[in-house]
Structure 1
Amino acid sequence: MMLSFFDQFASPNYMGIPLIALAIVLPWILFPTPTSRWLNNRLLTLQGWFINRVSQQIFLPINPGGHKWAMLFTSLLVFLITINMLGLLPYTFTPTTQLSLNMAFAVPLWLATVIIGMRNQPTAALGHLLPEGTPGPLIPVLIVIETISLFIRPLALGVRLTANLTAGHLLIQLIATGAFVLLPIMPTVAILTATVLFLLTLLEVAVAMIQAYVFVLLLSLYLQENV
């Protein structure tokens, strides 16, 4: 029996083994692998079309030097979308509701973009800390503010993904619990509540895809500043 609504976000264990590792590995097993045939089936064709379109959309405004990140960012996007969508199924666990996992994705990738900028164009990378035309007395203050803003970026990436998915799951569970309780007492209100629950589930499906896209899009914007 669930004692708290937040128990659904606790990482499940089986015989002392954390099942979050299984939840992370499972999406890659579900994807079909390309074959050596001249023609692929419809599922592989659709998968290839989706990956190509997403890659073009993300890397269109980025300089050619950053296009080598296309495979990494596209794989991350597909991975996050799959995890978020699988987490909407009953009796499943969503790893991206864990801030630690999201930070494990955000911090290394953000740090890699910063290191690339400092290595390839250190002047331009440091120039982002001081906007052009800043009055002299405000220079120290703005440098401190921009530095803090730079180091908050990975935290904002992880917290945004965690908070949106956690809030959606909590709202779905609250409304589902309300519909279940109202069913024997007020059937009409329970049906209306179930309708709201269905619409909210559709919204949560959209949020699961949009938040994965926003996560990768923001990383691509950070990369654009440093290539």
Structure 2
Amino acid sequence: MARQLDEQIVARFPVGRRLRVLDVGMGRGAQALRLARAGHQVTGLEKDAAMIAAAREALAGQPEGIRERMRIIEGDGRDTGVHFLPGSFDVVLCHGVLMYVEEPDPLVAGLARMLAPGGLLSLLVRNGDALAMRPGLHGDWAGALAAFDTTARLPHPRTEADGETPVRFGPDLRADRLATLTATLAGIGAPLQSWYGVRVFTDTAADGAAPPDDVETLLAVEERAGRTDPYRGVAALLHLCGVRG
């Protein structure tokens, strides 16, 4: 996903320009820190105290110049209007957040308002068009059948009761359909420009499994599949990139 994001940034902004980046729901700050290391001014917004502590600890180990380029704010993504003025950022990230929100449209609209003209909005969502894939591949036929007609919170076949670690984003998270989010982005003035699949082939791997020896080949396959039809359409996650008019 980092490669996809970098591709969009390079395509939309002059090389060497220091961008103002907002990472909403930054988690442990992996993307935020990566972009700060690249020279951008990054603001991370997160409400979970444990995640904030982990992000601050990671930031504390960075050189002074990187620490100065990144700030961390405790807050909810739905309160961006409280913390920032409209048009304050060139890039807004919202990765793995919409799946926790029952009504995503107000949040997405608020994120778009934070963008300067020409700004990039990057969303990572659970793919509502492919919810039957994982239960089907695991032989959970009832679960697969139920998944075809909903984007609601569905139980996941891989649970602690099976002796496995729950999936990375939790067992019962809401999903979004590509067509619905495309219409939403168009309606808020940040129409979809590009989209990718994320975790096309690797989504069925056991959580916590060690990377294979040929991990670079694995990444190359996932990167190619994530931009190629029909593979990207059945990815576990979708990465959508809209641009503010």
TM-score range, shorter chain: under 0.3
- Give the alignment's TM-score, normalised by structure 2: 0.25
Write 1 or 2 for the structure with the bigger share of helix: 1
Tell me which of the two structures has the higher relative contact order, counting C-alpha pairs closer than 8 angstroms and 6 or more residues apart. 1
- Give the alignment's TM-score, normalised by structure 1: 0.27
Write 1 or 2 for the structure with the bigger share of strand: 2
